[in-house]
Amino acid sequence: MNPDKEGENVSLIPDEAGYIIDTLIACGYEAYCVGGCVRDLIMGIPANDCDITTNATTDEIKAVFSDKRIIETGIKHGTVTVIINSVAFEITTYRIESTYSDNRHPDKVTFTRNLSEDLSRRDFTINSIAYNEKEDFIDLFGGKTDIENKIIRCVGDPVKRFEEDSLRILRGIRFAATLGFCVEEETKKAMLSCKHLIRNISAERIFTELSKMLCGKSIESTLIEFAPVLGEVIPEINAMHGFEQHNFHHIYDVLTHTAVVTQSTPPVLHLRLAALFHDSAKPFCFSLDEKGVGHFYTHASKSTLIAERRLTELRCDNKTKEKVLRLIKLHDTPVEESEKIIKRRLASMGKELFYDLITLKRADTAGLAPEFAERSTHFDRLEALADEILKKEECFSLKHLAVNGRDMLSLGLRGKEIGEALDFLLEAVIDGKAENERVILIEYAEKIKSKTTDNNKQ
């Protein structure tokens, strides 16, 4: 029962989870919600998935819910998934994870009938609270206080816990970034001293954690504080850390600038990844001119290569990777406030990526010295111009052009001449030399064609 709503009989957990817990208890077992959903519940965040822990074995769980749809994929780890009202709930038998020889997989999973043993194998105090409506919170490790004080702290000895499973290091940093919590001193020390162990984790799992982390609300401080850990996965971060730019545009070193830019983008994965890598080659492209001013020629294309390499290693999906690479490559290229230029960009990049580029470039100015902050108004104007072009449905790509390949065929053009002619007509429309009307464009094309034929004859 919610302590604030005593007497109102308001359920804090989804009805289906309440039903599962009540049913298991009615059959003589113990059952609680546990993990992320309890953490969310204490923080007042609606729980999206609710994990249930019980002293019933998987066979016993299956017997209790024999009239329900059951998925058995996690049986080996003690998990039975029960579907209620089309929602899947994972019910897991209390378990102890014994020895870990590879820093990630327990050598053996042992089941137990004892809740405290199950809670003590969980990673962080904030994730080790059990709850049911009858007994309220079972909080053996001070998780509630840590949630109130916004602290990430390991259950037990942090070094041991990270040696058992080094994914916990990244999970802890991810929770700090997403919840806006601080990592407790001993836990943080252990994250840094055990950082090399994350090399044992699969690329996919690292990327999952990194993605969630990057989209966190406190990514700026997290990136700076845990740079050495992330540097295990993306070594260029180590080079960025503390790298002074010696340029009047900048007051921050490359990593701090990157952290500010990342925080200044919306929490969308491809934008945050583009921000993370946009200047990653700067330390390798640095030169000082005779006046002592730092320059980073070709850093955009070299940062694109670094991002490509690291994202491929991390098994980032191709669609995301492609967007990230295009954004990084263009992040340093000026975009003038001209309709023609914007139309060409819209045509070559597509509208979504063009807006993303403006968003990234605007965030990039947030990481400059404060006297350059007003530059962001340039991006507001660019966006307004693009909005206008799109609203007026002006022609900026071949698909808006009033003529098509068939028209060019009927003019007698063949093969690659057709594409060239259409590109030419599009240019003419964007430049205002011809109106986007079929008759006008066909006439224009005919004129050009006869000119080229005459030229060829001479």
Other C-beta atoms lying within 10 Å of the C-beta of residue 66: 8
Distance of CA 247 to the CA centre of its chain: 30
Of the candidate residues 30, 51, 146, 232, the single one contacting ligand ATP (CB under 6 A) = 51
Q: Residue 177 in 3-state DSSP? A: helix
Q: What span, in angstroms and rounded, lies between the C-alpha atoms of 61 and 27? A: 10
Residue carrying structure tokens 């980032």: 316
Rounded to a whole number of angstroms, the minimum distance from the CB of residue 48 to Mg ion is 8
93 binds ligand ATP (CB under 6 A): no
Rounded to a whole number of angstroms, the minimum distance from the CB of residue 318 to ligand ATP is 25
Cross-strand pairs, 310 = none
Residue carrying structure tokens 């959903």: 37
| Of 185, 176, 189, 191, nearest in space to 223 by CA | 176
Of residues 332 through 361, those in contact with Mg ion by CB under 5 A are none
> Radius of gyration (Cα) for the chain, nearest Å?
29
Of the candidate residues 153, 168, 278, 321, the single one contacting ligand ATP (CB under 6 A) = 168
36 binds Mg ion (CB under 5 A): yes
Instruction: Choose the binding region for Mg ion from 32-40, 125-133, 310-318, 363-371 (rule: CB under 5 A).
Output: 32-40
Rounded to a whole number of angstroms, the minimum distance from the CB of residue 425 to Mg ion is 55
Rounded to a whole number of angstroms, the minimum distance from the CB of residue 174 to ligand ATP is 8
Q: Residue 82 in 3-state DSSP? A: strand
Q: What span, in angstroms and rounded, lies between the C-alpha atoms of 132 and 38? A: 10
Instruction: Choose the binding region for Mg ion from 33-41, 246-254, 356-364, 422-430 (rule: CB under 5 A).
Output: 33-41
Q: Helices 299-313 and 269-277 meet at what angle, rounded to 10? A: 120
Choose between 123 and 220: whose C-beta lies nearer to ligand ATP. Answer: 123
- Cβ-based neighbours of 338, under 8 Å, separated by 6 or more: none
Rounded to a whole number of angstroms, the minimum distance from the CB of residue 180 to ligand ATP is 14
Choose between 130 and 223: whose C-beta lies nearer to ligand ATP. Answer: 130
Rounded to a whole number of angstroms, the minimum distance from the CB of residue 435 to Mg ion is 58
Q: What span, in angstroms and rounded, lies between the C-alpha atoms of 221 and 236? A: 18
123 binds ligand ATP (CB under 6 A): yes
Segment holding 138, helix H or strand E:
strand 136-138
Report the partner that residue 407 touches, choosing among Mg ion, ligand ATP, none (CB closer than 5 to 8 A by kind).
Answer: none
Rounded to a whole number of angstroms, the minimum distance from the CB of residue 119 to ligand ATP is 8
Distance of CA 135 to the CA centre of its chain: 37
Q: Which residue is nearest to Mg ion (CB)?
A: 36
Q: What span, in angstroms and rounded, lies between the C-alpha atoms of 272 and 430? A: 32
Instruction: Choose the binding region for ligand ATP from 14-22, 120-128, 197-205, 356-364 (rule: CB under 6 A).
Output: 120-128
Per-residue contact flags (x/-) with ligand ATP for residues 19 to 48, judged by CB under 6 A? ----------------xx------------
For Mg ion, the binding residues (CB under 5 A) are 36
Site residues for ligand ATP per CB under 6 A: 35-36, 51, 122-123, 127-128, 165, 167-168
